[in-house]
Amino acid sequence: MGAAQNGNERAAASAYINMSAVAKVRKNFERADELLWKSIHIMEKQGDEIGAAKCYHQLGVVADSRQDFDNAKRWYVKSIEISERLNDEIGAAETYYNLGEVAEEQRNNTAAEEWRQKALHIYEQQGDANRILQMAWKAQDKLNYGNAETLYRKALEIAKQTGNAEFEGDSYLRLGFLACQQHDYEASKKWYEKAFKICEKRGDTVCAVKACISLGNLSLANVLGSRRNFAAAEMWFRKAIEIDKNSMWSNRIRLHLRLWRYRVLSLFSK
């Protein structure tokens, strides 16, 4: 088989994977499976075992999406067998995590935690703060706040150790949001202030603006035992506008309107 034909088949395999993702979103699960199998046949014929393992992983995702947990587990295990044999640790870790999700769906919490810990162990060894942040976000989305905080702090620790200011700032932001979600506004304020400090220092305007707006919103929160701090809110909103010089006028107006809305509400509440 010529190099050109090999290249064409690889391109076709990638196209099948992308088309399968679209079919899954549309809940056309049979079509999604069919396209993934087309990709697997090409990859196996060409000896691309890593690619095949990723497709088996996606077969597990499709099965999981239609709540066919037995087949989801079957394809995830098939993917892991290949990934482990080829020492593809990151590929294996992603599938470990998904197996944890399947175990949780089947109410096997012990197995779920074991699979997630295997994934976490690899991410920690690899110093992969980003993937740990993703695990934390999923835990938070399920209202598992204790686990989410533990994972956010692990990501923060790794980001500091590796000197990754981007993920350090992101960790602070997410810890701030998590604390706010649990109504711990003092802790939330401290995390957001840390996020603002490091993001401003590294010139990350997106992160800095998010921190400013979050601090402004916290200043306007009607927390029992404290009054809304309009001066602080105005300061943080103005900082957000100053930092994001390319911000659309609509965004600037929205911040000013938010501040004045709370001023008016405060007057009527007296």
Angle between helices 29-45 and 3-25 (to 10 degrees): 160
Residue type, 81: E
Query: What does the angle CA 145 – CA 148 – CA 150 come to, to the nearest 5 degrees?
Result: 110
pLDDT at residue 225 greater than cutoff 70? no
pLDDT at 4: 39
Q: How far apart are CA 94 and CA 119, in angstroms?
A: 7
pLDDT tens digits, residue range 235-254? 898 888 888 766 555 665 66
pLDDT at 251: 62
Q: Are 251 and 205 in contact (CB under 8 A)?
A: no
Q: How would you label 97-129 residue by residue, b for 16+ Cβ within 10 Å and e otherwise?
A: bbbbbbbbeeeeeebbeebbebbbebbbeeebb
Q: How far is CA 5 from CA 1, 11, 40, 136, 219, in A?
A: 6, 10, 17, 43, 62
Q: Which residues contact 202 (CB under 8 A, 6 or more apart)?
A: 165, 166, 169
At which residue do the structure tokens 């943080």 appear? 236
Q: What is the pTM of this model?
A: 0.80
Residue type, 99: L
At which residue do the structure tokens 């989801």 appear? 72
Compute the average pLDDT of residues 114-130.
95
Q: Tell me, what DSSP letter sits at residue 68? A: -
Compute the average pLDDT of residues 86-101.
95
pLDDT tens digits, residue range 123-146? 999 999 999 999 999 999 989 999
pLDDT at 35: 97
Q: How far apart are CA 178 and CA 31, in angstroms?
A: 39
pLDDT tens digits, residue range 50-84? 999 999 999 999 999 999 999 999 999 999 999 99
Dihedral sign for Cα atoms in the order 117, 119, 120, 125: positive
